[in-house]
Amino acid sequence: MNRRRFLTTALGVPTLAALAGSLPLVLASCGDDEESASDPTYADGPNDVVLSIRYEGGFVPMGFAFVNMPTLLVSGDGRVFEPGMQTLEFPGPLLSPVMVRPISPAGIRRVIALAGDAGLLSAPPDYSMPGGIMVADAPFTVVTLTVDGQTYRHEAEALGLGIDDGTSTPARDNLAAFVEVMADITAVVGDDEIGEPIPFDPTRYRMQAMEVNPADWGEPAPTVLDWPDGTGVVLAEAATCASAAAAAVGAALTAADQLTFFREGDVVYQVFAGGMLPGDAEC
């Protein structure tokens, strides 16, 4: 399947429900599941990332960018990471839920094949809005693929805008189609190639600490706890980033909510934290 065929098949329908109905046709041209010498290769380590889809930038609250995770991440060792369900309660848990499930090598090859059919295993085209249109405070959709030792990063601001009124571009429409199809990875790879999701239990955490004055908050008021001893993390030195083993900080972080602040010495800090995913760098 070539790029034009991918666009025609995937974007010939306006909704995700209709798109899902056309997915077998999209995948029919992706080849069989048997590995061959001509298949693209990918690094298969636990910290290797084959595909990442995420949103970056835009107008977001303090600390959001640091803990923002991909909407989909496929690791080389055969795991799929996705955000878990969140409620509207406030304060919610400090740590956003993450789900993980296994994916087979054949499933990963299907993902790579679909990316190839979409023309994404090559240098990114111009994803600018037509006419140089700028959209204030809109996030960038970032699709990153690492295949055959090469990394391809495709990023488009306000992706999806203009598709319905014809003011988009073929390159933007193509990327939007891929992102929309990948929203249901089970449909992409097939039930036999992917397992059931379970909560992700990280072995390490990344965190960022910002000095705050609890009196600046209204109701509900923050809860201030002492930062535990022996974590190996000094909050005063974590304004940019710090990382630690789950055994050291996991209990404190998992018990905290969004209005749990931590006191270190005479200073109170708000902590933003998340479990380390494949591809995350140590701080």
For tokens 């025609």, name the residue.
8
| Per-residue model confidence (pLDDT) at position 33 | 58
Tell me the DSSP string of 57-108: -SS--TTHHHH---SEEEETTTEEEEE----S-SS-BSSPPEEEEEB-HHHH
Residue at 280 is within a domain: no
Q: Are residues 85 and 10 in the same domain?
A: yes
Return the pLDDT at 44: 97
CATH of the domain at 152: 3.30.1560.10
Give the per-residue pLDDT at 217.
92
Asked if residue 81 and residue 28 are part of one domain, the reply reads yes
Give me the pLDDT at residue 50, please.
Answer: 99
Q: Which two tokens stand for residue 23?
A: 């997915």
Domain count within the chain: 2
Tell which residue, 123, 116, 144, 133, has the closest CA to residue 169.
133
Q: What number of other Cβ atoms are within 10 A of residue 40's Cβ?
A: 17
Asked if the structure places residue 208 within a domain, the reply is yes
Could you list the residue range(s) of the whole structural domain that residue 36 is in? 3-193
Per-residue pLDDT tens over the stretch 195-251: 999 999 999 999 999 999 999 998 999 999 999 999 999 999 999 999 999 999 999
pTM: 0.86
Q: Are residues 160 and 213 both part of a single domain?
A: no
Note the pLDDT of residue 109: 97
Boundary (domain end) residue, out of 130, 159, 193: 193
Mark the ranges of the chain whose per-residue pLDDT is less than 50.
1-5, 7-9, 11-22, 24-25, 28-29, 31
> Is residue 193 a contact partner of residue 103, using CB atoms and an 8 Å limit?
yes
Same domain? 184 vs 227: no
**Same structural domain, 95 and 43:** yes
- Please indicate, yes or no, if residue 216 is contained in any of the structural domains: yes
Q: Indicate if 150 and 124 belong to the same structural domain.
A: yes
Report cis status (omega within 30 of 0) of the bond before 97.
no
b (16+ CB within 10 A) / e for 123-156: eebebebeeeeeeeebbbbbbbbbbeeeeeebbb
Q: How many CB atoms lie within 10 A of CB 32?
A: 10
Examine the domain organization and report whether 185 and 213 are in the same domain.
no
Which of 193, 220, 239 is the last residue in one of the domains? 193
Q: What pLDDT does 16 receive?
A: 35
Q: What is the pLDDT of residue 163?
A: 63
Could you give phi then psi for residue 280, rounded to 5 degrees?
Answer: -70, 135
